[in-house]
Each structure stands twice: as C-alpha cells, then as structure tokens.
Structure 1
C-alpha cells in the first residue's frame, strides 16, 4: 500500500498540484473583516490580497484539532500509512497540535503507522518537500524511503524572499514601526531567509531592481547543482515579477524545472501583496 502524504495549506501548493500528486491538505484559518475562513477553501488568496490593499488586516490561526482528529482517524481506520509534513513549528502552533492529536489517535489505534514531521519550512519551500515525498510515494517507495527523502529536502531547503511593503511585516510583528516607515521612505527592500524554521533578516537592499539580482547571487552562493534541481518561486499576487526572476535564474544557472505558484492566504496575510520568495536546496537534489 502506497504511503499517503498529508500537508497543510501553508505549503502554498495549488489544488491542481495536490490532486496530481494525490496529496491531502488541511487548511489553516484566516480571519478578516470579522469573518473566519478556511485558507484556500472558503476564501482565495486573491480575495485576501484585495482586502489587504483596501486596508484589511487579516489574522491567521492554526489547523483545528478537529480537522487533524478527523483526518488522522480516517487513515488509521483504513490501516493507511501516512506522513504529515507540517508547516514550521516556529511560525505556527499547527505542528504542536498535530503532535497532540497523533498521540490520541495512536492510543486509540495502536497499529496505526504514521508520523508528524516538522519541516521547519514555509510556502513553496515547504511545498517542494511535500512534492518530492509525494512523488516517491506514488512510485511505490517504502515508508522509510518516503520519510527519508522528505526529511532530507526539509533539512536542506533554502528560503530567500523579499516583501513589497514593510508595513505588512510590521503588522505581523516582524519589524518595528520605525523600520517599516524608514524602509518605505528610502525604498529599502529587505532580503530575509529561514534559519531553523524562523524568519531571519539577511540584507537590506535599496531598490527593487537590485533585489532580484542579489537573490540570484545568494542562490549561487548557497545552492548546489542548481541546474539539476527543481526550484520554486512563490508570489503575493505578482506573477510578472515571479516570471522575471525565473528567467534570470534560467539565464544564470540553466535551471529549467521552476515551479511558480501563488502565496496562499495564511502566509500572504503576514508577508503582504507583492512578496517574492525563492526556494532551492543547499545540497544535491535527490
């Protein structure tokens, strides 16, 4: 029996990609204008970005315990092995909730075979982990092999991203009000990355034209065998810029396999419209 792969909506994988890879996703929740929605199900990222541009300030919350309970139990009842690759525990309580439910379900179904894995990743960095594990599962790989390939990609995934407006990071508590004001005034573009699952400032760059050039340079400094990898670019309702960055990467490194997707509501609520994020491995692709 093939291993079932489970993720959550912070992976930013489209419905089409999830279906093609037979991946099941559970939604985080977004509250905006006094209404709570399920990320990607009852509200689209485009709707969230439009509300944000009009002054809306969305809040996000983790996957509900009930959603995990129902999903984990359904697989356990069918003796279906599965691995839930989770959104970074440093950015959401979703992983901790899943671990709590894991214990409850395993107490009830002692023979159930499943694991809950903290990817320490977000957006399509997380999505690439899920995609690779799901591909191996569809190929009929063993549970151990699927687990190993997923954790390898999670351990070696690089996240490099920039935001269009520091105001959204300020609202989410990522930068101070003064830094947001001065940065916007001086047209400073922050370059950030992920370290042990946390968002960490990397550099400050003046001007949007320079920031893409620097992202491509950082990719070369940190990546391994980039021409052989599948990399990913996610965007906050800014497809033209994502495609521009993709062309720069193709020209520089000869990388043809570039997955582009929209940043979902749960990530976009904090990063804001115009965000561009780049994901690749710092070790050879497996």
Structure 2
C-alpha cells in the first residue's frame, strides 16, 4: 500500500499540489473580527493582508488534538502508512500536539505505520520538503525511504526572507520589541533566516534593489546545485517582486524549477503583507 503524506496549511502549498500528489492537509485556525476560519480552506490570504493594512491584528491557533486523532486513527484502522510532515515546533505547538496524538493512537494500534516529523521549517520551505516526500510516495517509495528523505530535505532547507514591517512579527511574538522598533524607525529592510526552527534577524538593508541582490548573494553563499533543485519563493500579496526575484535566479543560476506561492493566512498573519521569502537546499538535491 502506498504511503500517504500529510501536511498542515502552514506549508503554503496550492490546492493543485494537494490534488496532484493526493496530500492530506489539516488546517491551522485564523481568527479575524471575532470569527474563526480554517486556513487554506475558508479564508483567502488577501483578506488577511487587507485587514492588516487596515490596522487589524489577526491571530492564529494550532491544529486541534481531535483533528489529528481522527485522521491518524482512520489511517491506522485502514493499515495505510502515514507520514505527517509538520511545521517547525519552534513556531507552533502543532508538532507537539501531533506527536501526543501519534503516541495515543499507537497505544490502540501498536502496528500502525505512523510517523510525525518536525521539519524546523516554515511556509514554502516546509512545503518543498512535503513535495519531495509526496513525489517519492507517488512513485511507490517505502515508508523508511520517505521518512529519511523528508528529514534530509528539512535539515538542509534554507529560508532567506524579508518583511515590510517588523511590527507584525513583534505582535506575534516572533521578534523582540527593540528589533521591531529599530527596523521601523530607520525604514530599513531586514533580512531574516531560520536557525534550528526559529526566526533569526540576519542583516539590515536599505533599498529594495539592494535587498534582492543581497538575497541572491546569500543564496550563492549558502546553497549548491541550483540548476538541479526545486527553488521556492513565497510572497505576501507581492507577486511582482516574487516574479522579479525568480527571473534574477534563472538568469544567475540557470534554475528552471521555481515554485512561486502566496504566503498563506496562518503564516501571513504573523509576517504581514509585503513579505518575500526564498527557499533552497544548502546541500545536494536528493
């Protein structure tokens, strides 16, 4: 029996990806105007960004234990292997909840082939890990092969990103008040990356042209084998800049396989409109 791949909505993959690879998806919850929405299903990211531009502060909450238990139990009962590739445990409690439910389900179904993986990744960087696992699953790879490959891609995934306003990350508890204040005050563009699953400020750049060039420099410094790997770019209602960055990457590195997606509502509620992120492997593509 083929292995089923499961992700959550913070992977920022499109419905086309879910359909093409038959990926199971569970939603984080987005809270806006005292209403709750299932991320990726009941609310469009553009709605979140427009609300944030109006000064509203959407909130998010993790996937419920009941959702995980229900899905895990159904696969255990049908004896279909399931690998849930999760959002970074440093950014959400979703992984920990899933891990608890995995253990609970395995008490009832000890032979279940069920594994939860902490990617320490987010947005489309996380999504690229899921896509690689889903390709393998579709081609009939074993449970062990898929788990090993997902861990490899997660461990080697680089996240280089910038936000329009650090205030959004501060509100969500993702950066300190000092970092947010200094960035806003000087009208500079921060570059951040992900280190062991956490968002970490890297540099400060003045001017958007310098910013894209510096992102490419960081890509060249940290990455390898760009012509053979899939590159990810995600944006928060900023498609024009995302496409410009993609063109620069194609011209500089000869990369053909570039996936561009909008940052989903759950991640976007923390990062804010204008966010631009670049994802690539810092080791050979496998």
> How many angstroms apart in 1 are the aligned matches of 2:83 and 2:212?
35
What is residue 281 of structure 1 aligned with on the other side? 281
Counterpart secondary structure, 1:280: strand
Residues 209-240 of structure 1: CA deviation (Å, up to 9, x unaligned): 11111000000000011111101000001111
Q: Please report how far the alpha carbon of residue 178 of structure 1 lies from its aligned counterpart in structure 2 after TM superposition.
A: 4.9
What is residue 237 of structure 2 aligned with on the other side? 237
Larger deviation, residues 123-132 vs 26-35: 26-35
> How many angstroms apart in 2 are the aligned matches of 1:250 and 1:243?
11
> How many angstroms apart in 1 are the aligned matches of 2:193 and 2:177?
21
Counterpart secondary structure, 2:161: strand
What is residue 133 of structure 2 aligned with on the other side? 133
1:1-286 to 2 correspondences below 5 Å: 1-286=1-286
> How many angstroms apart in 1 are the aligned matches of 2:2 and 2:45?
32
Counterpart secondary structure, 2:13: coil
> How many angstroms apart in 2 are the aligned matches of 1:15 and 1:108?
33
When the two chains are superposed, the root-mean-square deviation of aligned CA atoms in Å is 1.1
Residues 107-156 of structure 1: CA deviation (Å, up to 9, x unaligned): 11112111000000000000000000000000011111111111110010
Counterpart secondary structure, 1:199: strand
Larger deviation, residues 133-142 vs 163-172: 163-172
Residues 40-94 of structure 1: CA deviation (Å, up to 9, x unaligned): 1111111111111111101111101111011111111110101000000000000
Compute the TM-score of the two structures, normalised by the length of structure 1: 0.97
> How many angstroms apart in 2 are the aligned matches of 1:6 and 1:188?
38
> How many angstroms apart in 2 are the aligned matches of 1:92 and 1:185?
29
Q: Please report how far the alpha carbon of residue 2 of structure 1 lies from its aligned counterpart in structure 2 after TM superposition.
A: 0.8
Which ranges of structure 1 fall in alignment gaps of 5 or more residues?
A: none
Which ranges of structure 2 fall in alignment gaps of 5 or more residues?
A: none
Counterpart secondary structure, 2:189: strand
Compute the TM-score of the two structures, normalised by the length of structure 2: 0.97
1:187 and 1:207 in contact (8 A); partners too: no
